[in-house]
Every structure is written in C-alpha cells, then in structure tokens.
Amino acid sequence: MSVGIDEISFYTSNYYLDLRTLAEVQQTDPDKYYEGIGQEKMGMAAPDEDVVTMAANAATPLIERVGADAISTLMFATETGIDQSKAAGVYVHRLLGLHSNCRVVEMKQACYSATAAIQMACALVARNPEKKVLVIASDVARYDLDTPGEATQGCGAVAMLISAQPRLLEIDPEVGNYTEDVMDFWRPNYRATALVDGKYSTKIYLKSLKKAWEHFREVSSLAFDDFGHFCYHLPFSRMAQKAHQHLAKLNKAGLTMEQVEAQIEDTLHYNRIIGNSYTASMYIGLTSLLENCKQNIAGEKIGFFSYGSGCVAEFFSGTVVAGYEKFLHREQHKQMLDARKEVSYEEYLSLYRYPDPRDGESIEIEEGTSGRFRLAGISHHKREYVAS
Ligand code: CAA
C-alpha cells in the first residue's frame, strides 16, 4: 500500500519587502541579495497574523474538499511557538471546525520538524489506511535588524494531507538521518528573534547533507542518478544550489553545472519571493516544483533533504503520482502571490516592531491581513483568534 501526500496548499502574508529596498537603506549592492543569496523579496507577517492564522489559511482549501470530520490527527510543526504548553494546532482545530475526536500535537526541531511530522503521519496511516492526517508547518522567520540574517527573513505556512493511495506523492519508507548537538542557529525562550552563527550554519548544513545521504544510501537501493529532481530545505535559494552542487560532486555525477541546477530550479520560485519559512520552506519548494515544472514529472523520483539547525537532518525519497497535475492549487497560489502589497522600509520596520506583549498587557490588534483568519487581540494572556 502506498502512503504519502494527497494534497498540498500554502499561505503567505499579503505584505513583502523587496530586498532592493533593504539594500538601498543598507547601502549594499542589491546583487548581493538577488544573486549572492538568491532572494528577491521577503514576506512580512501582518500585525494580526501569526503561525496559527497562517496555518488555518493554508489548510482551508484541503478541509473544504475532504470535510472537517475526515481528519483523525493534526500535527503542527513550528519553531515560532506562541505558547510553551498549549499546541498552536489546538487553535487551528477550532478555526477549521475539526472533530473533537481529532488529536492535535505540536512538533519542534527547528526547520526539520515538519519532516518528522510527515514520517509519523505516514506511520499512522500505514496502521489505519482509512485515516487522513493533516500536517501543517507554519513559521515566521525573524532575525535582528542590521545582521547578516536580516535579508533571509520571511513567513509562510503549508498544509499537507497525508493519506493512503495519495494523489500527489508516494513517500518511500527508507530514510537517512543525521543528528549532532551543535549551536548554529537557536532561539532561547526569552528572545523573539533567532541567534545564528551564519557561516557555521551553512557548513553544518552541508556536512549534514553528506551524512544523511550516506545513511540513505545504506538503507535505500536508490542512487543519485535515479532522481529527476531534488527538494532542499530553503533558508535562502543559494543555499540549496550550493548543497545540490555538493551532493552532485560527492556522487561524481557526470552532469554539467546547468544540468545540476535544473534539478532544483523549479523548487525555488516561491521561496525567492517569500523568503525563509523555516519548517514550511522545503514543502513550499515541493509545491513550487509540482506547480511550475513545465514537463509532466509523473513517475519521477524526488529526493528530499530536510535540515533543522541544532541539528537534525533527513534525506528521503518519493515518487510523483500519475495525474498529480489535476489536484494542485496553482491558480489560488498565483492569485495570492500576485495580490501582495510591497511595503516601504518604514512600513517594514513598523511590521517588524509591532507589539507582541510578553508581560501580560492587553492589546487590540489592527486589521492588516487579507487572509480569512486573524489574531484580533491578546487579553489576560489569551490570544483571541477570529474568522472573517
Ligand atoms: N553580487 C553578487 N554576489 C555577491 C555580492 C554582489 N555584489 N556581494 C556578495 N555576494 C555573494 C558572496 O560572494 C556570497 O556568495 P558565496 O556564499 O558563494 O561566497 C553571498 O553573496 C553572501 O555574501 P556573504 O557571505 O558576504 O553574506 P553574509 O555573510 O552577509 O550573509 C549568511 C550570509 C551568513 C548565510 C546570512 O544570510 C545568514 O546569517 N543567514 C541566516 C542563517 C542561514 O540561513 N543559514 C543557512 C543554514 S542554517 C539553516 O538552513 C536553518 C535555517 O533555516 C536558518
């Protein structure tokens, strides 16, 4: 029996900052961003948006099709947690009207946890093939102003329905893992922004790729040449390009630089204009591939490299299902991205600095999102979500 991704939909904020604007203020060459890190725009969450509202927006089209009662488990992956105890997915459970018999849990391990959620969801479905599990990855990537990480911010959520006989991607059971206790990127409880050792993080990313791939090769019969495309975790597009060149070199693949780049190019379109969305980024990359690849890739093997700082990494594989192109949300995604509003540097700063009370003060939050769900206020330490 095959198990995997039956449907996929993503959401990002209606605001973005063009990295040319950031470069101008910083008196940096915009090509450092457009070419050097491969990023053009970064999504900025509206004041009344957070991982919960983005997640509910991402999942709405899936729930509208299968019905709220079809979901047996909701797994919520994030590293932008809003509570140390309550899972963000419990708010989403209410906003989407899921059944009270549906279990909810939140998963964390930096940008990797959505992959853990998917593997666990596949195991649950393999045990009970009539069940459907909703996996949502949702994050707001935030670094301190005037740091090298600033240009790699972004926000987004992706919702995936995991089922038996999936219509998009069959996921293979063999995986290669790599875990090491390192401090390349982390966010202590008392901080709203991440701390990062930028250059070191890129080195650990590449090392983890090599190690996870080696483990994958031990457990899977698939070799580099068996894959048509590869999806990488996308902190910024250039990172995936470097990683894929690294993997091709390790495997002595007889491909030109252009052929190697072509194996990941279509996974990068959305990330370039959304920015880093941490747990969601690789799966928004998969959506980008399925929705933008000009050839029909049914039957192709896709390789996935999921990386979460700290660090845990995983290489796994899947096969694109025949007829997949009929079950995408390409038009809705295009409309959402086309309708976004560019912000000035001053507007960016005001979105960046919008109050997120940490000491119990109550606030009403101005309307800013064009999404269906919003965070209307915080009162008595309780977040108040509403649907419009
Ligand atoms: N034209 C074209 N290219 C230019 C340029 C110009 N005018 N100016 C610079 N560049 C190039 C540089 O040569 C460099 O390319 P190479 O890497 O190929 O040498 C690239 O642009 C970036 O320039 P710098 O190395 O000078 O950039 P930086 O040091 O200011 O910042 C960074 C780079 C450290 C990665 C920073 O973006 C950062 O800290 N990002 C956040 C951390 C991160 O994303 N790490 C990735 C791995 S960790 C992970 O994946 C988890 C996660 O999601 C965070």
Q: Please state which of the ranges 73-82, 174-183, 359-368 shows the lowest mean pLDDT.
A: 359-368
CB-CB neighbours of 353 under 10 Å: 9
Whole-prediction pTM: 0.98
pLDDT of residue 359: 76
In this prediction, residue 221 carries a pLDDT of 98
At position 4, the amino acid (one-letter code) is G
Mutate to test the pocket of ligand 1, among 29, 34, 37, 185 (most ligand atoms within 8 A of CB): 37
Query: How many Cβ atoms are within 10 Å of 317's Cβ, its own excluded?
Result: 22
Ligand 1 pocket, 198 CB below 6 A? yes
Q: Is 186 exposed, middle or buried (0-12, 13-18, 19+ CB in 10 A)?
A: middle
pLDDT the model gives residue 153 = 98
pLDDT in tens, 334-345: 999 999 999 999
Helix (H) / strand (E) containing 141: strand 132-141
Query: Residue 233: which residues within 8 A CB-CB, separation 6 or more?
Result: 111, 112, 205, 239, 240, 281, 282, 305, 306, 307, 308
Pairing, β 15-18 against β 71-77: unpaired
What is the predicted pLDDT for the residue at 361? 83
The answer to whether 301 touches 284, Cβ cutoff 8 Å, is no
Q: Is any atom of ligand 1 closer than 6 Å to the C-beta of 235? A: yes
Ligand 1 in reach of 111 Cβ (< 6 A): yes
CA distance 7 to 188: 34
Alpha carbon distance 91, 52 (integer Å): 7
Q: What is the mean pLDDT of the chain?
A: 97
Least confident of 254-258, 260-264, 266-270, 272-276: 254-258
Per-residue pLDDT of 157-171, as tens digits, reads: 999 999 999 999 999
**Ligand 1 mean position, distance from CA 36 (Å):** 7
Atom index in ligand 1 nearest the CA of residue 199 equals 34
pLDDT digits (tens, 9 = 90+) for 103-156: 999 999 999 999 999 999 999 999 999 999 999 999 999 999 999 999 999 999
Average pLDDT over residues 207-226: 98
Among 29, 152, 305, 307, say which to mutate for ligand 1: greatest number of ligand atoms within 8 Å of CB.
Answer: 152
Residue nearest to atom 23 of ligand 1 (CA): 36
61 Cβ below 6 A of ligand 1: no
Question: What is the arithmetic mean of pLDDT over 250-271?
Answer: 96
Tell me the C-alpha distance between 185 and 208, whole Å: 14
Distance CA 187, CA 315 (A): 25
Catalytic residue among 40, 49, 79, 106: 79
Both ends of the chain: CA-CA distance in Å? 40
Task: Report CA(187)–ligand 1 centroid distance (Å).
Answer: 20
* Residue 201 buriedness (CB in 10 A; 0-12 / 13-18 / 19+): buried
Rounded to the nearest 10 degrees, how much is the dihedral formed by the CA atoms of 286, 135, 69, 93?
-130
Q: Is the CB of 47 under 6 A from ligand 1?
A: no
Partnered with residue 221 across adjacent β-strands are none
Residue 360 pLDDT: 78
35 is catalytic: no
Of 221, 284, 214, 196, nearest to 251 by C-alpha is 214
Radius of gyration of the chain (CA): 20
Q: Which of the residues 215, 233, 269, 333 is marked catalytic? A: 233
Rounded-to-integer distance, Cα 210 and Cα 315, Å: 10
CA-nearest residue for atom 31, ligand 1, is 148
Question: Catalytic residue at 244?
Answer: no
H, E, C per residue of 305-338: EEEECCCEEEEEEEEECCCHHHHCCHHHHHHHHH
As a whole-number percent, the residues of the chain with pLDDT over 90 amount to 96
Counts for the chain of helices (H) and strands (E), in that order: 12, 17
Higher pLDDT pick, 244 / 354: 244
32 lines ligand 1 (CB under 6 A): yes
Residue 357 clears pLDDT 90, i.e. is over it: no
Per-residue model confidence (pLDDT) at position 358:
73
**Tokens at residue 330, please?**
């390409």
- Determine whether 215 is an active site residue: no
Which position among 40, 93, 102, 111 bears the catalytic label?
111
Read off the pLDDT of residues 301-332 as tens digits, 9 standing for 90 and up: 999 999 999 999 999 999 999 999 999 999 99
| Strand-pair partners of 41 | 18
